[in-house]
Amino acid sequence: NGTAMEPEAMRGMVLFYGKADCASCHSGRFQTDHDFHAIAMPQIGPGKAARFESHARDTGRMRVTGRAEDAYAFRTPPLRNVAQTAPYGHAGAYGTREGVVRHHLDPVGSLRAYDIAQAVMPGFDADDLRVMQDEGELTAIAAANDLAPMTLSDAEVDDILAFLNALTDPQSI
């Protein structure tokens, strides 16, 4: 016996599974295909470098497979209780659900315009913007992107956010 969703959340669900095409990756019981996708997510923080490497990049799935086509691809996160799991993005680049939803609308544009103020950063001294300040790295991340831009109105984004909020299970909190 469930509780009916608010009208905004219902509209968001229709968008999520329809026009916005979120369910092409966020599908199934936990809203994840368990697959890896490159969506030009900003690279902040220390990255994934071995002791002998000096870079700060995180090449995602490619680090495991060694395949160039897996560069900057990260696993689709499940969305259950997503309202409780900030920050968002594999490196925590977005402190809000709205920030990461808007990133999905124009991944490459969002990558290029990224503002570190969107992140929730721990209080330690690190070169967190090393990759984001390197034009070659940004170009590589952008080139790997496989998520096409789309247009949604502010009201439609708000509805999707309402739907995402409805995925919270109060008993699990």
Average pLDDT over residues 62-74: 95
Partners of 42 in beta bridges = none
Mean of the per-residue pLDDT values for the chain? 92
Mean of the pLDDT values across residues 130-142? 94
Nearest in space to 72 (alpha carbons), one of 137, 160, 16, 150: 137
At 165, give phi and psi (nearest 5°). -65, -35
Matching residue, tokens 């199934």: 28
Residue 165, sorted as left (phi over 0), alpha (psi -120 to 50) or beta, turns out to be: alpha
Instruction: Specify the 3-state DSSP secondary structure of 149.
Output: coil
Asked if 142 and 112 touch (Cβ cutoff 8 Å), the reply is yes
Model confidence band, residue 155 (pLDDT cutoffs 50, 70, 90)? very high
Confidence (pLDDT) at 152:
98
How confident is the model at residue 32, as a pLDDT? 96
Residue 129 has pLDDT above 90, yes or no: no
Q: Which is more confidently placed, 153 or 30?
A: 153
Cis, bond preceding 87 (omega within 30 deg of 0): yes
* CA 92/CA 86 separation, integer angstroms: 8
With CA atoms as reference, report the closest residue to 39 among 85, 81, 75, 80.
Answer: 75
What contacts 143, CB < 8 A, 6 or more positions away? none
The average pLDDT across 55-82 equals 93
pLDDT digits (tens, 9 = 90+) for 7-26: 999 999 999 999 999 999 99
Q: Which two tokens stand for residue 15?
A: 């968008």
Calculate mean pLDDT across residues 125-141: 87
Q: Tell me the pTM.
A: 0.91
How far is 118 from 92, CA to CA, in rounded Å? 9
Distance (Å, whole) CA 18 – CA 152:
12
Higher pLDDT, residue 29 or 141: 141
